[in-house]
Amino acid sequence: MVNGTGFPNAADSLGSQNSVVLLFTVNAGSDTVVMFRIDKEDPCHPKMIGEPASTLGQFPISVAYSDSLRMLCVLNGGAEAGVACFNADPLNGLKNLGALRSLGNAIHETTPPSGPPGSAAEISFNPESSAVFVSLKGNAGAIPKQPGFILAWPVEHGQIGDESVVSQIADIEMDFGFAFLPGSRIFISDPSYGVSILEVGTDHEIVEEAHIVVNGSPRDSAAGKKENTKPMNRKSSVMSLSGAPHLPSDHLRGKSGSPCASSPSAFLLRDR
């Protein structure tokens, strides 16, 4: 297995016993991302690893981590929008991996963002870490109407490409959070109607497989009692949109037994 620098991973001096819990947080005010180590015996006092790293853009809003690649990617959603990626070393911290990867013409924002319509939403690696995906909200009020985007940067030889595969799905308007389903599919939420199931092709292009209008959504109210679900091509399973892996409840207490009180606004917690 190669890491984000394109070279084989060095031996893990911390072993393979989930000895390290990593916490990544972004600071939209300073356009930085920080990596912390959490001691399971004292989780209320994270220790910063290395120094805060520039996200190379403006207003970072979402982070994604691949354990197999030991790579962190950050989505910037401001006027200088794009994706910055880093090698995440649990001993030395974050090392930048190239220039900011542009979102192209899929977004035109301000700092801070003026959305939600037309703003950046979320970033995530797929389960195989063969690509990193970004969702960008559409703008139903624009003239002409602007559907939402999904961008995918393929991973080759342990490195994320500079150019993205851009998919624009006509029926998606305000795509927010998403999670991967079995069989190269994506479960994505959209408050304007409900949820969609998307299919990811071998070339990372994306098409909508199912469009599900949820009762009580704006689209459902406008449609009255009309049929609210497009037929699906095949059966699908639904998984919990938990956002990020988490520690068991007993690990969220300090040595004194009292729960940790801090609540970062944007973070990703990974147990290695």
Torsion of CA 102, 88, 178, 1, to 10 degrees: 100
pLDDT tens by residue, 189-228: 998 889 999 999 999 999 999 999 987 665 544 433 334 4
Cut 0.85: pTM above it: no
Confidence check: pLDDT of 252 > 60 = no
Judged against a pLDDT cut of 70, whether residue 46 lies above it is answered with yes
CB of 59 closer than 8 Å to CB of 71: no
What confidence score (pLDDT) does residue 271 get? Answer: 58
Instruction: List b or e across 241-267, with b for residues whose CB sees 16 or more CB atoms inside 10 angstroms.
Output: eeeeeebeeeeeeeeeeeebeeeeebb
- Predicted confidence (pLDDT) at residue 7 exceeds the cutoff of 80: no
Q: For 132-157, how does the pLDDT look when each residue is reduced to its tens digit (9 = 90+)? A: 999 999 987 788 888 999 999 999 99
- At 161, is the pLDDT very low, low, confident or very high (cuts 50, 70, 90)? very high
